[in-house]
Chain A
Amino acid sequence: MSTPEPDPNRRQRLVRTRRGRLIGGVCSGLGAHFGVDPILFRIAFVGLAIFSGIGIALYLALLLLVAEEGAAHAPIYLSRSSWRSVLGALAIVVAAGIVLSAIGHGAHRGAWGFGVGLGSLALVGVLAALLWQWLRTSAVTGTDGRASADRRLLRCAAFVTAVLAWMALLAAAGAWLAGIDLQLAAWAVVVLGVLLVLGAYAGWARWLVLPGVAFALAVATIAAAHVDLHGGTGERTYRPHAFGEVRGGYELGAGRLEIDLRNVAFPAGTTRLHLRLGVGEAVVLVPKNVCVATSASIGGGYVGALENRSGGLDINWSERPVPPLGTPRLLVDGSVGLGALLVADHPVEHDWRGWGGWGEGGWFASHSHRMALGTNEACLPATGVSR
């Protein structure tokens, strides 16, 4: 009995190839399937990843849903009837994501938004740990009887994701504790160090290395930035209408602090305004007829005071312009741990998505340097700024 000749016109099943792969064999498999150079798919995936991020999601989806060459099933193998349940579950997850995103967007500067972020991180950690456990114990193997390479890759990715998520949570716990009580957090780091040293001799402390380092680094960052989280969280706006309503000092632990002084008639002479913010954005809106001097201490972030600005770490800013005789002078004395201090003559909002560049003035300033904050026109010209 002779076997039927394979139809040369029939397209082969899409598989992720073992030969010519760079990561998971997705692009080389697509290239072989469609008979084109896989470099075209690689360029497309990288382009989609850079410009919209969807390239990564698409690649991961194909990694999970397309079987590897020689393997019996894809890492996620579902029967035809199971697809409906999966699509239903996915729809619910997407809907929940949209709702959470809307809630988080509405309160992204407050404690609730912070809580949503931490909750999402914990959820990712739990899901990744469950996936890792499932991949470790379930017994889907390739035709050679061994777990396929993509399954091992996925298991490894799930493990790394779970570890990173839990390290991030521990780092957040360390940062919060250091911002509330630095003394206690510092002693906790000492205790962790002692436990690691003792555990090295006893042979049980290897698991403590990553959590210990994550916690200690977070505490060190908060200490170096002089972050003080006392004073509450959220969004606070103060809009005094008379000079008598202006407080000497304003403070907030984390969030957005806005002090709108544009309706205040300042008397001649110098008025001091102290403000302290742990993490976030502090905005002082000033009237145009006041000469504004700014003194700021920023652990890490950005300061912009009307025409002048600077960004980076350990910023000590002092700008002391001189007003003409009889013109009121406002001295803004700000202290921000991590974040931005903006002094402007019109409403502004720092675009946090612009952070991360290497623009003039430091890491965080690339976007903010293009932001117009106003002019200090009530002061005499030729005044100095020191940073």
Chain B
Amino acid sequence: MRRPPSVTVLFTGIAVLLLGVLLVLDANGTIDLRFAYTAPVLVGAFGAVLLASGLSSRRRGRG
């Protein structure tokens, strides 16, 4: 039986991928990244990864 993907790694990957897209847009000049917008995005992404990881652990009976 195929193992389910690691939710923590998956969500971290999605968060890093989205951050990378924002950085590419910033490098192209499409958007202007500043700390005022970047900090909440990073903290929110970190929270989403932790939340997903915690919920996934509870579902597997480890929480």
Contact = CB atoms under 8 A, between A and B. Distances in A.
A162 B38 CA distance: 28
A127 interface: no
Interface string B35-63: 11111001000000000000000000000
A304 interface: no
Contacts of B15: 193
A195 B12 CA distance: 11
A224 B34 contact: yes
B13 A200 contact: yes
A220 interface: yes
Given A193-B17, A200-B5, A217-B42, A186 B26 contact: yes
Contact of B10 (A183, A200, A223): A200
B29 to A, nearest CB: 10
Contacts of A185: 23, 27
Given A190-B21, A216-B19, A217-B42, A224 B13 contact: no
Contact of B23 (A186, A197, A209): A186
Contacts of B10: 196-197, 200-201
A205 B13 contact: yes
Contacts of B14: 193, 197
Contacts of A191: 20
A51 interface: no
Contacts of A203: 3, 5-6
Q: Tell me the dominant secondary structure on chain A's binding face.
A: helix
Interface residues of B, number: 30
B12 to A, nearest CB: 5
Nearest to A204: B9
Interface in A191-214: 191-201, 203, 205-206, 208-209, 212-213
Contacts of A121: none
Nearest to B12: A209
Nearest to A189: B20
Contacts of B12: 196, 209, 212-213
A387 to B, nearest CB: 14
B6 A200 contact: yes
Contacts of B34: 224, 299, 314
A193 B19 contact: yes
A213 B19 CA distance: 10
Nearest to A215: B16
A225 interface: yes
B27 A220 contact: no
Contacts of B13: 193-200, 205, 212
Nearest to B23: A186
Given A206-B6, A213-B12, A313-B36, 9 more contacts: A189-B16, A190-B24, A196-B9, A199-B13, A201-B5, A205-B6, A208-B9, A212-B12, A223-B23
28 contacts: A182-B26, A182-B27, A183-B27, A185-B27, A186-B24, A188-B20, A189-B20, A189-B23, A190-B17, A190-B20, A190-B24, A191-B20, A193-B17, A193-B19, A195-B13, A197-B17, A199-B13, A203-B6, A208-B9, A209-B12, A217-B42, A219-B23, A220-B19, A223-B33, A224-B35, A224-B37, A225-B35, A314-B35
